[in-house]
Amino acid sequence: MGHYIPSTREEQQAMLSAIGAESPAAFFADVPESVLLKEPLNLPSGKSELEVRREVEGMSRLNKVFGTVLRGAGAYQHYIPSIVKYITSKEEFVTAYTPYQAEMSQGILQSIFEYQTMICELTGMDASNASMYDGASAAAEAVAMCRDRKRSVALVSATTHPDVVATIRTYCYGAGFEMRMVPEKDGRTDMEALAEAVTSDVCCFYVQQPNFYGNFEDCTALGEVVHNGGAKYIMGCNPMALALMKTPAACGADIAVGEGQPLGMPLAYGGPYLGFMAATSAMTRKLPGRIVGETKDADGNRAYVLTLQAREQHIRREKASSNVCSNQALCALTAAVYMSTMGPEGVKQAAGQSMSKAHYFADLLAAVPGVTVQNQGAWFHEFVTTLPVPAEKVLDALAEKDILGGLPVKDGVLWCVTEVVSKAQLDKAAAIIREVCAACN
């Protein structure tokens, strides 16, 4: 049986004697006899480290790691530089708690301050918090920041990732506010429908950029419509695309959020990922969660602390702006190390290559008889195609050749290409798809 208790049985007995207790049972005297467990838990016995390793490695082998991934839909395979993993496994970072004690946590606090700066740079916004659980919960918390007594309806574009929609819906259900969808038209938010939807009871509008189908929305125009209606404007952005596209700040957003996973985090079956959140200075004091600020210490030297805590649950309790306590600090550190390692040119390169390769692949697929690329106008690294055959036939054929194909969605298949996929891999995938489509016709 494995354990992490330093004291031997004899030492524990000596400690019990020192405090005048006969056995640990004395400490549980307040537990009603009727509910004290009489038997051990109905679980296997503990194991040695080697046995545990064998068992868990065995589980990992039941999974299939695809050599080529052409699927995104909220989780993206980008290249992670070697140094990112090494730095983020340093025990001082990994095993620290939230930096409540600034005098022995300057390293953690400074790393968060640097992360906040990078998120501000990426989004163009004035202030960032220390991180959120993920992009979907960040979107839901952003909506919560906008609500007040007069305006309690949240508008969400129908071009948003389904998990983000469901998460916003869940948070609205909790607080008793309404979520309304703004319909899409040809793969983008229906601008006219939005103009009609922004009524005087609407607090905000959420749009995803690029949207679920990969399309770039006209975010500047959307922002104008929202602001004309007196509501707040929230943009959920892919951080990789932010290296290339007009920033939320330039589009007039009041709050920018997003899923930070593309910035150095592996796919990892959906988590842990990183929610980022940044706002205009007017909304800074409504930000949920931890925020690090710069100050001076008693000697006048530069120092960092958790700040603006008057917003937070441990001070405000039921009047807090949010209940967020733990966040995703190590993932924020990961994103910061990733951005520092890639540098501005490296992030632009990863984003640009993803976009270029996705377009190359879309052209290959468009040339297959019966396949139509649905995306019109500008799009990033995801696109939807129709197929002349059932999607599973194509996906199964790809899987046989170690390729994870796109995700089946209601109008076809949603494909994604990132910089890690080579031209040769794309050519191969396209050839397989062509073959399946031809054989079935």
| Of residues 199-258, those binding another protein (CB under 8 A) | 216, 242-247, 250
CB of 359 to another protein, least distance (A): 4
Distance in Å, CB of 374 to another protein, minimum = 16
Segment near another protein (CB under 8 A), from 189-197, 225-233, 316-324, 366-374? 316-324
* Beta-bridge partner residues of 304: 294
Burial class of residue 119 in the structure, from the number of CB atoms within 10 Å of its CB (0-12 exposed, 13-18 middle, 19+ buried): buried
By beta-carbon proximity to another protein, the closer residue of 6 and 369 is: 6
Ranges within 98-127 binding another protein (CB under 8 A)? 98-108, 110-114, 116-118, 120-122, 124, 126-127
Candidate residues 154, 222, 225, 350; the one interacting with another protein per rule CB under 8 A: 350
Residue among 229 and 248 whose Cβ is closer to another protein: 248
Under the binding rule (CB under 8 A), the answer on residue 263 touching another protein is no
On whether the CB atoms of residues 308 and 254 are closer than 8 A, the answer is no
Q: Which stretch binds another protein (CB under 8 A): 160-168, 186-194, 365-373, 430-438?
A: 160-168
How, if at all, do strands 232-237 and 202-209 pair? parallel
Output 87 or 198, the one with its CB closest to another protein: 87
Closest separation in Å from C-beta 441 to another protein: 25
CA 437 to chain centre: 35
Among 81, 252, 370, 388, which residue sits at the site for another protein (rule: CB under 8 A)?
A: 81
Residues 59-78 that bind another protein (CB under 8 A): 59-66, 69, 71, 73-75, 77
What stretches of 116-217 adopt beta strand conformation (E)? 127-128, 153-157, 178-182, 184-185, 188-189, 202-209
Distance, in Å, from the CA atom of 148 to the CA atom of 227, rounded to the nearest integer, reads: 16
Q: Which is closer to another protein, CB of 7 or CB of 200?
A: 7
By beta-carbon proximity to another protein, the closer residue of 182 and 368 is 182
Pick from 282, 315, 366, 438 the residue near another protein by CB under 8 A.
315
Dist CA 108 CA 234 (whole Å)? 29
Tell which one of 186, 201, 294, 411 touches another protein (CB under 8 A). 294
Residue 437 binds another protein, judged by CB under 8 A: no
Residue with tokens 């007039």: 252
User: Structure tokens of 404?
Assistant: 């994870």
Task: Give, as one character, the DSSP assignment of residue 216.
Answer: P
| 441 is a contact residue toward another protein (CB under 8 A) | no
Rg (CA), the chain: 26
Amino acid (one-letter) located at 429: A
Residue 17 makes contact with another protein by CB under 8 A: no
Q: Near another protein by CB under 8 A, which window of 91-99, 187-195, 227-235, 432-440?
A: 91-99
- Pick from 49, 148, 149, 400 the residue near another protein by CB under 8 A: 49
Residue 333 found at the interface with another protein (CB under 8 A):
yes
291 interacts with another protein by CB under 8 A: yes
Count Cβ atoms below 10 Å from residue 110 Cβ, excluding itself: 16
Map the footprint of another protein across residues 364-403, applying CB under 8 A. Answer: 378, 395, 399
* Structure token pair of residue 139: 């979107």
Closest CA to 254 of 225, 286, 283, 277: 283
* Residue 413 CB neighbour total at 10 angstroms: 23
According to CB under 8 A, which one of 154, 155, 407, 436 is a site residue for another protein?
A: 407
In this structure, what are the phi and psi dihedrals at residue 387, rounded to the nearest 5 degrees? -130, 145
Residue length of the chain: 441
* List 150, 301, 400, 441, residue binding another protein (CB under 8 A): 301
Instruction: Check residue 150 for interaction with another protein (CB under 8 A).
Output: no
Check binding of 22 to another protein (CB under 8 A). no
Name which of 128 and 374 has its Cβ closer to another protein.
128
> At CA 110, angle to CA 107 and CA 113, rounded to 5?
155
Residue 318 Ramachandran class (φ > 0 left, ψ -120 to 50 alpha, else beta): alpha
